Structure 1
Amino acid sequence: MKINRMGKLDLLVTEFCIGALPMGPLQANIPIDHGAHLIRKAWDNGVNFFDTAEIYQTYPYLQKALADRPEAIIATKSTVSTYEEMEKSINKAQQELGRSVINIFHLHAARSTPAVFEERKGALECLKDYKKKGIIQAIGISTHAVDVVEKAAEEPNIDVIFPIINIDGMGIIRGNTTTMIKTIQKASMRGKGIYAMKVLAGGHCIDRIFDAIEFVRNIREISSIAIGVVREVELDFHLLHFNQQPIPKELLNQCLDRKQKKPVILNNCRKCRLCSETCPSGAITMGSDRPSINMEKCLACGYCLPVCPEFNIRFA
């Protein structure tokens, strides 16, 4: 499997990165043993890069799979704003991942504006301090917004950027595929490491899976592509694809034969608007009695689930 350097860092990552989001309770909620099996199988087949986040609640999957593999590269994220909150997030990641060093720690900023660096100044200061201590190797930001990527490229303390990019431009905020690629290229020229999310647009591009993945692979500034898996056939497909090996027709059909779960809003809504404010793709809008979801925009990220105070959103 192809290995790329992450920007100017001494981190060599596989082109295929396992995204842990779909495994956890925000999406498929598969058993920890099964998720850990998939992660370990990926590792045993050459994948060395794994992406997670505090909000995903998937640390136990990675800990179980990679406890004896400290050389595995793990990126995580936190949505917090203050120094004290970020310190707690770092400690939580260390404890629940079973690691003294976190390779990449992001400001989790899916729908933030360029003001995020000022708004989360305390959290960023904490990451800087922990990088000086050697507990964090690299500081990053994950975002869906073109202008945040542009701002991050100018921020000297940001080493890695994790932007959304896909062939249809779904989920890109304040821009489109063309402007995001141009901004990624500028960020790379400034020495930032780049890896990509949502290349299948939350399942919307699954019927064009080869074209969608190859589109992003051909952006040479991108070092790795994070893709989530919850079934063994999905993992087998990506292992073959990223190793430039032929895909058996039966495996492809099995991989594509999956009902894409989407969020459903139940009746017990207090109209707090937290779900619509959280949605990074602008898919949720407030109706007269409850929110509605535009499935053409929904990326199936699951970020709306934990913010609902009434536990009124489910994936089905």
Structure 2
Amino acid sequence: MEKIVLGNTGIEVTKLCYGALPIGPLQKNLPVEESSEVIAYALDKGIKFIDTAQAYGTYPHIKGALKKIKFRPVIATKSAAATYEDMEKAVLEALKGMEIDYIDIFHLHAPKARVQADVFEQRKGALQALLDYKKKGMIKAVGISTHSVKVVEAAASREDIDVVFPLINKIGRGILEGTRDEMEKAIALCDKNGKGIYLMKVLGGGTMIEDYESSMEYAMDFGENYSIAIGMISKEEVLYNIRYFNGERNLEGIASMRSKKIVRTSPNLCVGCGICIDTCHSEAISFNSTGKAYIDPSKCIQCGYCVAACPLFSIRVV
């Protein structure tokens, strides 16, 4: 599989990155052993790059996969921690949870952050923790994971950010604080300034899977020097994506492999607390006329963050 180097980091990754979100408890919630088999299969078939996060709950799945293979893939993770102490705990949790000695890329996890001050100023303690662990050699590169055009623009000029993980897709679904064209320009600026770049949600979190071919063409044409993270929950999906990234076209069956998901609320359980609205980084949730949470399917990217945030378990991916 084609490989690239992430900006000025010297970190070589495969063009296809294994996205660990959908296999974990926020979405499909496969058993750890089954998940580790899928991830190990992906790695054995040629993918050498994994993206995960503290919030995804997939460290045990990745640990299991690493025990099944004979090489060390590049691993990126992220945390929404705001303070030095909490980020330090997040770093140690990742190292212990995956039983690894270092983390290749550790991001500030900031999907909903809108302006530079929100993430870089309010989380300066957390950022300093990542930089300190980079000096210790336990983190190779520090990054930012975001859906915001403004944050991507701000990251381009920061010397302390090595890698940027932005949301981009052909219809601009999920992009905050700007348009798709503005996000393209912000990403290009990061590229020009030597930031490593890999792309998220090019299939809109799975909502655009029936338009797989044109969605992937857009992402690959736009990001010729970028890696692309795609969430995969089965060996069939892994093989399909690998074949596509290895140049095969006119493939059939990807839409049928992924059962359609809908994120919905239970009106009987929802108390209208609004926590899900604050959690949603796609602005897909609002109150309906009865004061209950309503999820707009045209905006939802099926990340599952609201599922974990709801204190009454009234939101489900079905």
Task: Output the TM-score relative to the length of structure 2.
Answer: 0.95
**Which digits, 9 at most, give the CA deviation of each residue in 1:7-26, with x for residues without a partner?**
10111000000000000110
Equivalence for 2:95: 94
Equivalent residue for 1:44? 44
Q: Which moved more, 1:64-73 or 1:117-126?
A: 64-73
Kindly indicate whether residue 269 of structure 2 is the aligned counterpart of residue 244 of structure 1.
no
Distance in 2 (CA, whole Å) between partners of 1:45 and 1:203 is 22
Write the mapping of 1:66-215 to structure 2, written as runs, cut at 5 A. 66-67=66-67, 69=70, 71-113=72-114, 114-115=116-117, 116-215=119-218
One-letter amino acid matched to 2:123 = R
Q: SS of the counterpart of 1:142?
A: strand
Task: Kindly provide the amino acid, as one letter, of the partner of residue 273 in structure 1.
Answer: G
CA RMSD of aligned residues (A): 1.4
- Where does structure 1 lack aligned partners over 5 or more consecutive residues? none
Identity of aligned residues (%): 43
Q: Which residue of 1 aligns with 2:8?
A: 8
The answer (yes or no) to whether the contact 1:237–1:247 under 8 Å persists in 2 is no
User: Quick one: which of 230, 234, 237 aligns to 2:237?
Assistant: 234
How far did residue 78 of structure 1 move?
Answer: 0.3
TM-aligned CA distance change 1:311 to 1:35, over 3 Å: same
SS at match of 2:316: strand
Matches of 2:169 and 2:208, distance apart in 1: 9
Higher mean C-alpha displacement, 213-222 vs 103-112:
213-222
CA distance in 2, matches of 1:262, 1:91: 34
Instruction: Work out the number of aligned pairs and report it.
Output: 313
Q: How much has 1:269 moved relative to structure 2? A: 2.3
1:313 to partner: Cα distance: 1.1
1:293 and 2:295 are equivalent in the alignment = yes
Could you tell me the TM-score, scaled by structure 1's length?
0.95
Q: CA deviation at 1:272?
A: 2.1
- Distance 1:254-1:216 versus aligned 2 partners, 3 A rule: closer
CA drift of 1:152 comes to 0.8
The corresponding residue for 1:303 is: 305
**CA 1:256–1:309 in 2, change beyond 3 Å: closer, same or farther?**
same
- Matched to 1:271, the amino acid is G
Match of 2:26 in 1: 26
1:11–1:69 CA distance, 2 compared to 1 (3 A): farther
Q: CA deviation at 1:247?
A: 5.3
Given that 2:237 and 2:257 are in contact with CA atoms closer than 8 Å, whether structure 1 keeps it comes out as: no
Judging changes above 3 Å, is the alpha-carbon distance between structure 1 residues 90 and 77 closer, same or farther for their aligned structure 2 residues?
same
Matching residue of 2:272:
271
